[in-house]
Amino acid sequence: PSFDEIEKYKKVDDPNNYARLIDQLLKRPEFGERLASSWMNVARYAEDQAHQVGSDKKFFYPHAHKYRQWVIEAFNHDLPYDDFIRLQLAADKVDDVDEKDFAALGFLGLGPQYYNRGRLEVKAEEWEDSVDVVSRGFMALTVACARCHDHKYDPISTADYHAFAGVFASTEIHKREIVDSTGDKSHIHIVKDGKVQDLPIFKRGDVTDKGEVIPRGFLEILSDRDSKKYTNGSGRLELANAIASSENPLTARVAVNRIWQLFFGQGLVKTTSNFGSLGGLPSHPELLDYLAITFMENGWSIKDLIKRILLSSTYRQSSFVISLKRQKDEENKYYSYFPRRRLSAEMLRDSMLLVSGEMESGDRGAESLKVSDKKNLRRTIYSRISRKELDHYLALFDYPDPNIHSSSRDETITPAQKLYFINSEFVIERSKKISLEITSNNINESIIKMYQKILSRSPSNQELLRSVEYIGVVEEKKEERWQRFAQNLLISNEFIFRD
């Protein structure tokens, strides 16, 4: 928030002011952009492949951004999460679906593809990717681990895997013209039913060593497969309904846990994409169950869930704690204080654009630009994501590998990051813009305005004194002095970390 927004909020003496602020923030378009940034990693979103033969780009996705925009709008419109699942798996099978919702099928259609796709062993690799992203993304189960043999730790058999994979073996990728919410027409890679087939068990993962044919269906531990064989085309809609069901509360628990991780840095179950035997146990199982139940009872509303979390005293704690409390709860297992976190790659870049006043918001839904493109002043969510060559900045600040499903992000602190802050043309240009806008002949006033602009607060008396000394001592031209000062604030821990 800006300095003025904070000051305005502080002046309102009303216990309901915080709840009203949450409601206002949930209505802003940036809400969907923030949640979509996280979901893109779950969906292993990218716009190309990790490989390319010569100039052949037939497996690239020039209109992948249509799926990304669909996700953003789904969160902004508070699409019920069970429908969020159904549309991404089977929008083409849902009755009375809106034309724009076909873009949701990019969840399956934008996955990794390989050359020589006619070969069975190549197809099997692509089926495994679909099994993995669906089972881990929605249910936090590592079903793909049962491809070659029964799961060593969880009650998932190789028959379960092939029942699951049969759904995707009966599905094919194709290009479809869609009209998005802006009326724009384009072709996007989505999926449709292909030749319906049940898969034999490929023993030890060898497609030439075939065993018993397994009917398409859901996991046996969560259903009665014999009585619920999939008969509606590929079975994607039946699979989606089985996952997005209140009779399968695992899905709600996984969704709630992901949202909790979004705000606290880690989930109530640390392994957000593995609720199996090798995954972590919930630190607060009763809380997880309570949130999952109320989530389903309130129509699978993401916004309602988030508001419930943000209104809690747990979320509203300070990260500034006395040493005794930190000693007693070193890992913050009991949420005795708010965890201090480094901003993500997107949040860092976006924050710099925001405080410099250069953020462009008019191109929402437009084609992606490279992060490194000097003309790219949009939010980072709208930048191009490459499997072949992930942008250096994104990789430096822990953006996950887009070739595979990712459940969380690392938060590293490295010397290379500091060097980036010092030498990056992007950071230098933002600090120049701020310094040119703010500085005047009144040094004290300029320093105060710069603190308010960048750190959303006024400097303390000591900070003001030291800043005046710095401005007077640095042996540079006046413009360079102020630019360097603005840059120092931009790369300060207070700006980079969220308390």
* Cα gap 426→442, rounded to integer Å: 28
C-alpha distance from residue 410 to each of 54, 128, 156, 398 (Å)? 34, 25, 29, 6
Q: Please give the backbone phi and psi of residue 156, each rounded to the nearest 5 degrees, phi first.
A: -125, 115
Output the CA–CA distances (angstroms, integers) from residue 498 to 168, 261, 309, 439, in the order listed.
Answer: 41, 15, 18, 27
CB atoms within 10 A of CB 392: 12
d(Cα 370, Cα 349) in Å, to the nearest integer?
Answer: 13
Q: Mind listing the pLDDT tens digit of every residue in the chain (499 residues)?
A: 999 999 999 999 999 999 999 999 999 999 999 999 999 999 999 999 998 777 777 778 999 999 999 999 999 999 999 999 999 999 999 999 999 999 999 999 999 988 777 799 999 999 999 999 999 999 999 999 999 999 999 999 999 999 999 999 999 998 898 777 677 778 899 999 999 999 999 999 999 999 999 999 999 999 876 667 899 999 999 999 999 999 999 999 999 999 999 999 999 999 999 999 999 999 999 999 999 999 999 999 999 999 999 999 999 998 887 777 777 888 888 898 898 899 999 999 999 999 999 999 877 778 899 999 999 999 999 999 999 999 999 999 999 999 999 999 999 999 999 999 999 999 999 999 999 999 888 999 999 999 999 999 999 999 999 999 988 876 678 889 999 999 999 999 999 998 8
pLDDT value at position 319? 84
227: exposed, middle or buried (Cβ count in 10 Å: 0-12, 13-18, 19+): exposed
**Residues in CB range of 127: below 8 A, 6 or more apart:** 165, 168, 169
What is the structure's pLDDT at 149? 95
Spell out the long-range contacts of 227-236 with Cβ–Cβ below 8 A and sequence spacing 24 or more.
Answer: 230/166, 230/167, 232/93, 233/93, 233/170, 233/193, 233/196, 234/167, 234/168, 234/170, 234/171, 234/193, 234/194, 234/196, 235/166, 235/167, 235/170, 236/89, 236/90, 236/93, 236/167, 236/171, 236/191, 236/193
Question: What pTM was estimated for this model as a whole?
Answer: 0.95
Q: Residue count of the chain, please give it.
A: 499
Contacts of 401 (CB under 8 A, 6+ apart): 390
DSSP character for 225?
Answer: G
Distances (CA, A) of 432 to 170, 229, 412, 422, 489: 56, 64, 27, 13, 12
Cα–Cα distance between 398 and 496 in angstroms, integer? 14
Within 8 A by CB and 6+ apart from 86, the residues are: 94, 237, 240, 241, 244
Tokens found for residue 442: 């009144």
pLDDT at 474: 67
Domain boundaries, the chain: 15-289, 342-499
